[in-house]
Copies of this chain bind each other. A is one copy, B any other.
Amino acid sequence: MSDHARVSGFRFAGGACGIKPQGKPDLGLLVADEDAAAAAVFTRNRVRAAPVLLAAERLELGRARGILVNSGNANACTGKRGLAAARNATAALADALGVEDDLVLPASTGVIGVPLPDDRIRDAVPALVDRLSPDGALDFAAAILTTDRWPKVASARVSLGKSRAITVLGIAKGAGMIHPNMATTLGFVVTDAPASSSFLRRALRRATDETFNALTVDGDTSTNDAIFALASGRADVPSLRGDDRDARKFRDALRDVLAELGRSIVRDGEGAERVVTIEVTGAASEEAARKVARAVSASLLVKAAIHGCDANWGRILAAAGNAGVAFDPDKVEIRFDDIVLVRKGVGIGPAADRDAAEVMRRPAYTIRVKLGPGKARAHYLMCDIGPEYIRINAAYRS
A155 CB within 8 Å of chain B: no
With beta carbons under 8 angstroms apart, the residue of B111, B183, B308, B318 that contacts A393 is B308
Q: Residue A391 at the B interface, CB < 8 A?
A: yes
Instruction: Give, as a whole number of angstroms, the nearest-CB distance from A202 to chain B.
Output: 24
Q: Does A117 contact B (CB under 8 A)?
A: no
Query: Does A344 have its Cβ within 8 Å of any Cβ on chain B?
Result: yes
Determine if B314 and A345 form an interchain contact, defined as CB atoms under 8 angstroms apart.
Answer: no
Q: Which of A35-52 contact B (CB under 8 A)?
A: 44-48
A197 at the interface (CB under 8 A from B): no
Number of this chain's copies in the complex: 2
| Contact between B77 and A342, CB atoms less than 8 A apart | yes
| A79 nearest in chain B by CB position | B346
Q: How far is the CB of A106 from chain B (nearest CB, A)?
A: 18
Contact (Cβ within 8 A) B219 A300: yes
Task: Give chain A interface residues in 166-186, CB to chain B under 8 Å.
Answer: 177, 180-181, 183
| Complex-state Cα separation, A296 to B318, whole angstroms | 22
Please give, as numbers and ranges, the residues of chain B lying within 8 Å of A265 by CB-CB distance: none
Cross-chain contact B393 with A347 (CB below 8 angstroms) = no
- Which positions 359-382 of chain A face chain B at CB distance < 8 Å? none
Q: Are B181 and A314 in contact (CB under 8 A)?
A: yes
In the complex, which residues 69-89 of chain A have their Cβ closer than 8 Å to any Cβ of chain B? Answer: 74, 76-79, 81
> Which B residues are in CB contact (< 8 Å) with A326?
46
Q: In the complex, what residues of B have CB within 8 A of residue A394's CB? A: 304-305, 307-308, 310, 386-387
Q: Are B310 and A395 in touch, CB under 8 angstroms?
A: yes
Chain A residue total in the interface (Cβ 8 A): 68
Assuming A310-B395, A325-B46, A394-B305, is B77 touching A317 (CB within 8 A)?
yes
Residue in B180, B222, B325, B329 whose CB lies within 8 Å of A312: B180
Are the CB atoms of B307 and A390 closer together than 8 Å?
yes
Whether A159 is near chain B, meaning CB under 8 Å from some CB there, is no
Whether the pair B390, A386 counts as a contact (CB closer than 8 A) is yes
A339-352 CB contact bits vs B (8 Å, 1 = yes)?
00010111100000
Partner of A113, one of B183, B313, B393: B313
Contact of A390 among B113, B330, B390 (CB under 8 A): B390
**Shortest beta-carbon distance, A339 to chain B, in Å?**
15
Shortest CB-to-CB span from A372 to chain B, Å, is: 12
* CB<8 Å pairs between A and B, sample of 26: A45-B321, A46-B321, A46-B322, A46-B323, A46-B327, A77-B345, A79-B330, A112-B315, A113-B314, A113-B342, A177-B301, A180-B301, A180-B305, A181-B312, A181-B314, A183-B301, A218-B301, A221-B318, A304-B394, A305-B393, A307-B390, A308-B394, A308-B395, A386-B390, A387-B388, A390-B390
Chain A residues in the interface with B (C-beta under 8 A): 44-48, 74, 76-79, 81, 111-114, 177, 180-181, 183, 218-223, 299-301, 304-305, 307-310, 312-315, 317-323, 325-327, 329-330, 342, 344-347, 357, 385-391, 393-397
Q: Ordered nearest first, which 9 A-B pairs have the shortest CB separation? A: A112-B314, A308-B394, A47-B321, A387-B387, A304-B393, A46-B321, A45-B321, A113-B347, A79-B346
